[in-house]
Structure 1
Amino acid sequence: MADNLEDEWWETDNRVQNNKIEENSSDEGEQKNTGEVSNKRSAEEEGEDQGNRTKKKQKRKRKKITTELKEKGKSSRASPTDVIDLLSKHFEGKLSPVELDEIKLDPDSDFYVSSESDHTPSSYLRTILPKWKKLVKSSGDLKPGSPLVLIITSSAIRAVQLNRDITDFKTEECKCAKLFAKHFKIEEQQKYLSKNVCHIGLGTPNRICSLIKNGSLHLDSVKSVVLDWNWRDKKFKRMADIIDLRIDLMVLLQTFIIPHIHANKCKIGIL
C-alpha cells in the first residue's frame, strides 16, 4: 500500500533547499550586524581613549602655582589694576552695565601705592598712614565698632600673625578688633564691638561682611582698607586664588567697601 504524501518529492526538495538558503542569508546578516556593532564599539572605545589622553595632556600642560611664580619672579607684586581686573572678571555677565559702573574703581584716586617686596606689614602701614599716631589721639569721639583702618586677610591664622607683625605700628592707645571666626563666636564679637572703641579691624571677608550686615561693625570712620593680597599660604595661594574666599571678598567689596570709598575719603591699600 502506497504512503499518503501531501507533497510531491521534487517540491519537498525545493523547500529544503530554499530553507537552507534563507538560513545562510540570516547567518550572514547576523555576522554583518555583529561586525558593525563591534566596529562601532571599537570606534567609541577608541574615541574614549583619545579623549582620556587629551585630558591627561591638558592636565600635564596646566602649570602649578610654584611654576608660575618662578616664571614671573618672586618679586611680582599685585597692583590696583589686578584688583580692578578681578572685579570686572568676577561680575562680568552677572551685573548690568549700570551696576558695573557703580563698582568701578580708579587706580589712581581710589588706591594707595602698593607695597614693595621689602615692605613689612608695619612699614607699609606707616607708608600709607604717616600721621597714624595723631589720628589715633584725635579720635576721642570715635564710636564703638567704628575702626579707622580695616585690614582684610585670608584666614584666622594669618590674621593672628598680622596682629603680631603690626605691634610696633599700633601704639599703646590703639585697640585692634579680631574679626575672624576661629575661636570667636559672632555673638561675642557683636558684644565686644557694641561696647569698645577699636582703631583697627582685622579679619576675614566672610566674618567682616556678617558683622556689617548685623549692624555690629560700622564703616563710617574707616579711612583705609588694606587688602592682604600678596600673602600666600602653604599651597602658595593668595586670597584671590581660593574660590570661596574670593567670592566672599567680591561680595564685601561690592556691597559695602566700594560704596563707602565712593562716598568718603577712603582708599584701598594692597599689602
Structure 2
Amino acid sequence: MDVGAGLNKAFERMDGQLLADHLAQKTSRFGTDLSSVELADLYISANAIKDTTSWQKPRTLENLPEFLEEFSENAKELGEAPETKGSPHTIVVAGAGLRAAELVRALRRFQKKGNPVAKLFAKHIKMEEAVQFLTTHRTGIAVGTPVRLMDLLDNGALSADSLKRIVIDGSHIDQKKRGVMDMKETMLPLAKWLSRKEFKDRFTADENKVELMFY
C-alpha cells in the first residue's frame, strides 16, 4: 500500500485469476447474509476479467486516460459517444461520490461538445437529475457508484446496449486504507452490479463483448 498516494498497489500485480479470487473472497466475507446459491450467482470467473498487469505506470487519476487508451482496441472511440442517448461505451465504477467526481475531472480529455462525461453518483446529483441527463444526452463515458448505477439501469434511463468496457476503480484507497472492495456498503453492491444480466454473460462472449478491467 502507498497511503500517501492513496493507492493499493496489489492490483498492479493481479491477473484475471487473482482478481476473481479476490472478488470471491470479498463477496463471501461481506455476504454472510446470502445463501450459497445467491453467492454463486455473484461469482465472476477469471476469464471474464481482462489482464492489465502489463501496465507499468502508477494507477493514479492522472494516468487513467492513458490506461484506457492502452487497453482499448480503438482509442479514438473513447472520445466519441454512441448515437443512443444514455448508452455509454465505458462505465467507470467508484466507491464513493467524492472519488467519482475526481474521476470525472480526470476523464475530461475525452469530453467534447455534445458528449459530456456522465456523473452517475449520489454525492451531489439527485436521481431525477441523473435520469434527466441520460434521457437527453449522448455520452461516451459514465462514472458512477454501484447503487446509483443499478438504480439507473433498473429505471431504464441507463442502457448497456452500447457498453464495451467496465472499469473498476480498484487501486484507490482512502485515509483508512479502504478501497471499493474493502467495505460491505460498496463491495456487495459492486458484486451485484457486475452480475447484472445486461452484461455478465458478455464478459466472456465473442460478440457484443464487454471487457471488465480493474484499475
TM-score under structure 2 length normalisation = 0.78
Tell me if the contact between 1:145 and 1:197 (Cα under 8 Å) persists in the aligned partners.
yes
- Alignment match, 2:11: 77
Q: Which runs of 5+ in 1 are unaligned?
A: 1-64
1:88 aligns with 2:32: no
Partner letter of residue 206 of structure 1?
V
Deviations 1:196-226 (A, max 9, x none): 1110110100100110011111111110100
Q: Which runs of 5+ in 2 are unaligned?
A: none
2: distance between equivalents of 1:258 and 1:218?
14
Identity %: 23
1:128 aligns with 2:68: no
2: distance between equivalents of 1:82 and 1:117?
20
Tell me if the contact between 1:103 and 1:258 (Cα under 8 Å) persists in the aligned partners.
no
From 24, 42, 52, give the equivalent of 1:113.
52
- With CA pairs under 8 Å and 6+ residues apart, which has the higher RCO, 1 or 2? 2
3-state SS in 2 of match to 1:178: strand
Shift of 1:116: 3.9
Map 1:37-56 → 2, pairs under 5 A: none
- Alignment match, 1:253: 194
Map 1:1-271 → 2, pairs under 5 A: 75-77=9-11, 79=14, 80-89=16-25, 90=27, 94-96=35-37, 100=40, 103-107=43-47, 110-114=49-53, 115-119=55-59, 120-129=63-72, 131-134=74-77, 136-137=79-80, 142-168=83-109, 170-172=110-112, 174-256=115-197, 257-263=199-205, 264-271=208-215
3-state SS in 1 of match to 2:143: strand
3-state SS in 1 of match to 2:101: helix
Tell me if the contact between 1:77 and 1:117 (Cα under 8 Å) persists in the aligned partners.
no
3-state SS in 2 of match to 1:240: coil
Partner letter of residue 111 of structure 1?
K
2: distance between equivalents of 1:113 and 1:237?
22
Partner letter of residue 200 of structure 2?
I
Looking at CA atoms only, which structure, 1 or 2, has the larger radius of gyration?
1
TM-score under structure 1 length normalisation = 0.63
3-state SS in 1 of match to 2:102: helix
2: distance between equivalents of 1:104 and 1:238?
19
Shift of 1:106: 3.1
3-state SS in 1 of match to 2:46: coil
2: distance between equivalents of 1:241 and 1:165?
23
Tell me if the contact between 2:107 and 2:117 (Cα under 8 Å) persists in the aligned partners.
no
2: distance between equivalents of 1:203 and 1:184?
11
Shift of 1:129: 1.7
**Greater mean alpha carbon deviation, residues 261-270 or residues 156-165:** 261-270
3-state SS in 1 of match to 2:148: helix
**Greater mean alpha carbon deviation, residues 179-188 or residues 122-131:** 122-131
Deviations 1:234-255 (A, max 9, x none): 1111111011111111111122
3-state SS in 2 of match to 1:151: strand
2: distance between equivalents of 1:227 and 1:127?
16
Deviations 1:42-85 (A, max 9, x none): xxxxxxxxxxxxxxxxxxxxxxx89xx8xxx9643252334312
2: distance between equivalents of 1:74 and 1:180?
23
1: distance between equivalents of 2:169 and 2:91?
11
Tell me if the contact between 1:75 and 1:117 (Cα under 8 Å) persists in the aligned partners.
no
Tell me if the contact between 1:112 and 1:268 (Cα under 8 Å) persists in the aligned partners.
no
Shift of 1:133: 1.6
3-state SS in 2 of match to 1:255: coil
